[in-house]
Structure 1
Amino acid sequence: MTRGVLSATVVILVALAMGIAPAVHADPSNDGHDPYFNEDRYAAFYTPPDPLPAGAPGDLIRTEPSRLVLEPSGQLGAIVATGTRIMYRSTDARGNPMAVTGTYFEPDNNWPGQGPRPLIVYGPGTQGQGDQCAPSRQFNQGIHWSPWVDLMFNYEELFVATMVARGFAVVMTDYQGLGTPGVHSYLNSVSEGNAMIDAGRAAMRLPDTSLDPHGPVAFWGYSQGGGAAASAAELAPSYGPDLHVVGTYAGAPPANLKEMLPYLDGSALAGVIGYTLNSFIATYPELEEVIRAALTPRGVDLLAKVQDQCIPETILKFMFRHLQPYFNDDIKEVVDQEPFKTLFDMQRIGRRKPNAPVLILINRYDPVVPWTVANQLGRDWCAQGTDVQFWTNEEPPFLNKLVVNHALPMLVDGERALQWVADRFNGLPTTPNCGSF
């Protein structure tokens, strides 16, 4: 649900308009000899020890150096940082310990601001649900591709490269089940928020970095990442009180999933409903039978297929589909019935008060996350006394079913968000606007 979605959509639609299939081929180096393109190469690191070693949330389980490239050859530009792949302990939505992977970026450049080097805990946007889509793998490859349209662009590298060049340390989580065994808990607010908080803890505990273990931290994310960052912001007072959180940037946060369904219908991103239902089943397996009973054979087939896909493949194969054919009954009624009513309600964000300022940013005509959802999140937090700055991007609607107004604001307002975060690290006054949005 980010700029990578837009790029992938444009490539696919241009190819289709020309009457050809997208030219996706296996990388010639993906023959088992180049370790960065051989998925088996990742098995040893990404398979957690069983049982998990004793420890606390945020404890490191294992680490290894991580190659950082902007494209497969590694010759065209560089991320001016040293990468470390990490596996750390966290807590899932049921309160059980889990292993999560991610990447820590130690900048080559000094931090030019005030105080110790700050840490940005980065929640990635929608990658997909297959293990090959994990951001910590994508930073090794730049672009992942293999036969049958298994394609992924590492679109998160653009902001990470900028952040480390400016002296920010960054740690990016893969979230639960992305890269590691199991199903990715897509848009599960608790597991994603916990994974963000514990990524921050893990980075602070990583040896031989320039971080102060008690230094300042900010959460950052857009779309799926915006929801993860928002969840981390409100979970931090209770789950991560040891982190010195100074602010959170939550761009286009999906704070109310139920309100998004009409927007996904017929959209390039219609297939992500499969990610969400797979996440529900993986987190609450006792509800699998009733969830599957609500689906038509097409709906069951959707869940099976998207579970191993990255977002470009999901777009290609399920774009512009209507959601109703995936459900046996009227979808408007289904979401108000159990267990869906409770499942969607459990993912709501805005019921707890963050302990640091928050910037919420969204386009007024966002075709994926309704403006009203992000606005209500801001109002909910303001009502609890949170320091909130709410910013509306007024880019007019354009090709809404291609989710342009969801993807472009991340780029257009990215500098605004990064400056806001830098101001928090430098201790500058905030400019909350509760009561005026």
Structure 2
Amino acid sequence: MNPRRTTRSSSTAKAPHRHPRHPHNPAGRGTGRLLAAVVAATACLGVYAVPAHAAPAATGTEPVVSRGVTIPAFYNPPARLPAADGALVRTEPLTLGLRLPGLDGRPIPGTATRLMYKSTDAGGLPVAVTGAYVEPSAAWKGGGPRPLVALASGTMGQGDQCAPSLALEHPLTIGNKTLSVGYDNLAVYRFLAAGAAVVVTDYAGLGSTDRLHTYVNRVDEGHALLDAARAAHRVAGASITEGSRVGLYGYSQGGGASAAAAELQPSYAPDVNLAGTYAGAPPADLTEVMKGIDGSALAGALGWSINGFAQTDPSLRAVVDAHINATGKAALADTSTMCVGDAILGYGFTNSKKWTADGKPIADIIAAEPKLQAVLAAQRIGRLKPAAPVRLATGIQDDIVGHKQARQLAVDWCRKGADVTYKAVILPNLGDKLLTNHLAPLLTDQGSAVSWLTDRLSGKPVTSNCWTMPVQP
């Protein structure tokens, strides 16, 4: 169904590329207008046009090509990894796509380093994760030593060319087979302007070429984010210290990753000096989130979820093969190399009934399969208590990553006695299933989210507003 990825020769892509062309999407014109707005908003950050022919790989390695994009040899993991979680495997300079020369010779907003570091996946196995660390040019004016923000990006896709570290280098990548937008770069630059160092994780399998990205796997993502914070402290020339406060930040997929990391931190990474976490629109209950994604502009994310969980638990492949028809299997293979822009254009507003053998939506199949129910139940965020303050924000009109399930995460944490600041983002309905209700709070609440987390990094106290939950929407 979706074989483990391997590195291939320069004339052959690493993952499948010769898929049947997806049928014309009757909603494609509306999708195109939505994506055009996103692209236009990001175009000022710099564009990387995919070359017609793949560039040669570094000497002594075979290139990996994903939808026409050659992945730098840096992203090929070695055969052996260090023992310690967060240990650096390798680093190299990374050029930010948007930068200005500074008067002191240092670029503004900072100097970036590409990273590969060791983490542990949900199965307890070592995994190489890539990312980027950015040392800010601005001075930190808050309390204590310069802090660190570990940022988990929102949905970027499943192809290695979609990695957030590559998006820092090429904020907008356009080619005949791929479209990637680094929309979380804005948050990165806001923290850098405040003088906080930033480390961005690519997650397990996104960028690193030895496996498939395990999309919305809470343990893989939580570990990758916490280990990114550990790795940042080991970067040569980093001005953060062992005593530096650490903040976690993420929205959408990133919100789920930061939320998972916040509640895993006491047991997995007690050495990380966590001061606070922002979790925006977190997909805390995947059973409910899959219902919202089905038939939406982001319907292709269903493929990423199925692919990722089948990789984590190979026994699921038999279940998937039994329920997914030929059209669905082709879509799973196709989406496995897509970025979010490709998926919107190729599979936006697709109903999962078209992918199933019996014509039932995937939600109905999950409801009838105990094994699938157990897999999604194990991904539920909110069963553990974060030790540090958390700000959780969710748009009341969000119909992609549903508002109710995100609010329930705040309720679950409040009941455990966690220090939770809950924010319901009240906006009008901006269009059903279009992503607009999901993306709008990312922008409208970002300033407040950055300010809240910056205050935590400065050591300012905060008081939970769990007592307002009965009256907040």
Compared CA separation, residues 189 and 389, structure 1 to 2 (3 A):
same
In the alignment, does 2:76 pair up with 1:47?
A: yes
The 8 Å contact of residues 395 and 424 in structure 2, kept in 1 or not, is answered as yes
**Alignment partner, residue 3 of structure 1:** none
**Alignment partner, residue 397 of structure 1:** 429
| Deviation of the 1:28 alpha carbon | 7.5
Matches within 5 A, 1:28-427: 42-52=71-81, 54-70=82-98, 80-148=109-177, 150-181=178-209, 182-329=211-358, 330-331=360-361, 332-336=363-367, 337-427=369-459
Compared CA separation, residues 15 and 263, structure 1 to 2 (3 A):
closer
Which amino acid is 1:67 matched to?
T
The 8 Å contact of residues 296 and 435 in structure 2, kept in 1 or not, is answered as yes
Compared CA separation, residues 34 and 340, structure 1 to 2 (3 A):
same
Partners of 1:49 and 1:262 lie apart in 2 by: 39
**Alignment partner, residue 74 of structure 1:** none
Q: For residues 351-392 of structure 1, give each alpha carbon's deviation from its aligned partner in whole angstroms, at most 9, with x where no partner exists.
A: 011110000001001011111111110111111110001100
Which amino acid is 1:346 matched to?
A
| Deviation of the 1:34 alpha carbon | 10
* RMSD of Structure 2 on Structure 1 (CA): 2.4
**Alignment partner, residue 41 of structure 2:** none
Q: Which runs of 5+ in 2 are unaligned?
A: 1-27, 37-46, 59-63, 100-106
Q: Which runs of 5+ in 1 are unaligned?
A: 1-7, 17-24, 72-77
Partners of 2:310 and 2:181 lie apart in 1 by: 27
Compared CA separation, residues 170 and 395, structure 1 to 2 (3 A):
same
Partners of 2:111 and 2:264 lie apart in 1 by: 30
Partners of 1:341 and 1:131 lie apart in 2 by: 29
Partners of 2:333 and 2:231 lie apart in 1 by: 33
Compared CA separation, residues 86 and 344, structure 1 to 2 (3 A):
same
- Which stretch shifts more, 185-194 or 423-432? 423-432
Q: For residues 236-285 of structure 1, give each alpha carbon's deviation from its aligned partner in whole angstroms, at most 9, with x where no partner exists.
A: 00000001001000000000010122222221011110000000111111
User: % of aligned pairs identical?
Assistant: 42
Which amino acid is 1:384 matched to?
K
| Deviation of the 1:187 alpha carbon | 0.2
Q: For residues 201-232 of structure 1, give each alpha carbon's deviation from its aligned partner in whole angstroms, at most 9, with x where no partner exists.
A: 00012221110122100110000000000000
In the alignment, does 2:41 pair up with 1:12?
A: no
Which amino acid is 1:228 matched to?
A
TM-score norm. by structure 2 comes to: 0.83
The 8 Å contact of residues 9 and 268 in structure 1, kept in 2 or not, is answered as no
| Deviation of the 1:300 alpha carbon | 0.9
| Deviation of the 1:9 alpha carbon | 9.1
Which amino acid is 2:385 matched to?
K
Compared CA separation, residues 145 and 34, structure 1 to 2 (3 A):
farther
Q: Secondary structure at the match of 2:321?
A: helix
| Deviation of the 1:430 alpha carbon | 1.0
